[in-house]
Structure 1
Amino acid sequence: MSEQTDKEILDMLYTWTRSLVPELAQFIDDLAAIEPEIRPLIAEHIRDYDEMLPTLLMGDIARWVVRVVHENEDPATRLGRFFARLEEAWGDGQNPVSDLIAVSFVENIFDEPDVVKLLGPKLARYYRIYTGQEKVRSDEQRPMPEVLKQILKKLGRS
């Protein structure tokens, strides 16, 4: 591969990922509006990284949720709005926010049964797929983004 090809691929990825950020930032803002205790996590995260890195921040939020679940007598009531927002944001499971929830939340709490039982039906389905309890159905398989097809073509792997 040439330096020019590398640059073209990186430019394509940069353009694609930049388009995802506003949706993720809005989702994080929504969570902070629902749960004021998340706001200090965001502030600390930005102080540490000088930007918002949604996957890392969502991991911090997952750890916060684990702590809240273990410290509350009725975590379902305490975190009901939070989990409802996750379920709503999951949508069809084929969007940047559902990707964030999958890899940075569900995969961080998969071994926390007290948290897992609070997941709504869509996230619980993903959890069962992630843990090998169920298989992905054909209607759940995501089509490859066009930009990735273009990158594979540039790499000679189409």
Structure 2
Amino acid sequence: MTEQTGEQILDLLHTWTRSLVPDLAAFIEGLADLEPEIRPLIAEHIRDYDEMLPTLFMGDIARWVISVTHDSPDPATRLQPFFDRLEQGWGDGQNPVSDLIATSFVENVYDDPDVVTLLGPNLARYYRLYTRQDKIREDEKRPMPEVMKQILKKLGRR
């Protein structure tokens, strides 16, 4: 790979990732509007990292949910609006928000059965795929983004 090819690949990735940020920002803002206890988590996260790092932040959210689940007398009722928002954010399961929810939330709570029982249908399906209890269906396979095809071509792999 030449230096020029490397720069072209970085430009493609940069353009692609810039398009992902607004959806993630809107999702996180929606969580803060939904749940007052999330606002201080956002402030602490930004104080610690000087920016919003969505994947790390969702790990903070996962720990908060685990805590609420174990400390609340009725966690299902207490967290229902939150889990409804995750289900809404999941959408078709093939978007930046669902990626964030899958890899930074579900994969952080998968080993806590008390939380797993609270997952809505989309998150529960991902949980079953992640824990290999189910197999992925053909309609759940994600098409490769065009930018990735271009990068593979530049790398000589397509």
Settle same-fold status: TM greater than 0.5.
Answer: yes
Corresponding position of 1:2:
2
Asked if residue 19 in structure 1 is aligned to residue 19 in structure 2, the reply is yes
Q: Find the residue that maps to 2:128 and give its secondary structure.
A: helix
Partner Cα distance (1:13, 1:121) in 2: 32
Partner Cα distance (1:16, 1:47) in 2: 27
Instruction: List gaps (5 residues or longer) in structure 1.
Output: none
Structure 1 residue ranges (4+ consecutive) displaced by more than 4 angstroms after TM superposition: none
Instruction: Please show how residues 93-112 of structure 1 align to structure 2 within 5 Å.
Output: 93-112=93-112
* Alignment TM-score, normalising by the size of structure 1: 0.98
Partner Cα distance (1:12, 1:59) in 2: 28
Q: Find the residue that maps to 2:14 and give its secondary structure.
A: helix
Corresponding position of 1:114:
114
- Counterpart of 1:109, as a letter, is V
Partner Cα distance (1:51, 1:113) in 2: 32
Shift of 1:48: 1.4
- CA RMSD in angstroms comes to 0.6
- Counterpart of 1:141, as a letter, is K
- Counterpart of 2:141, as a letter, is Q
Partner Cα distance (1:110, 1:129) in 2: 11
Corresponding position of 1:87:
87
Partner Cα distance (2:3, 2:46) in 1: 33
Partner Cα distance (2:14, 2:41) in 1: 26
Partner Cα distance (1:100, 1:155) in 2: 27
> Cα deviation per residue 1:50-95 (whole Å; 9 max; x = unaligned)?
1111111011101110011010010011111000000111111001
- Counterpart of 1:111, as a letter, is D
- Counterpart of 1:112, as a letter, is D
Partner Cα distance (2:52, 2:108) in 1: 19
* Alignment TM-score, normalising by the size of structure 2: 0.98
Number of residue-to-residue matches in the alignment: 158
Asked if residue 49 in structure 1 is aligned to residue 53 in structure 2, the reply is no
Shift of 1:44: 1.1
Q: Give percent identity, aligned residues only.
A: 76
Corresponding position of 2:28:
28
Partner Cα distance (1:48, 1:13) in 2: 27
Partner Cα distance (1:64, 1:4) in 2: 45
Shift of 1:142: 0.3
- Counterpart of 2:24, as a letter, is L
Partner Cα distance (1:94, 1:51) in 2: 25
Instruction: List gaps (5 residues or longer) in structure 2.
Output: none
Partner Cα distance (1:104, 1:130) in 2: 12
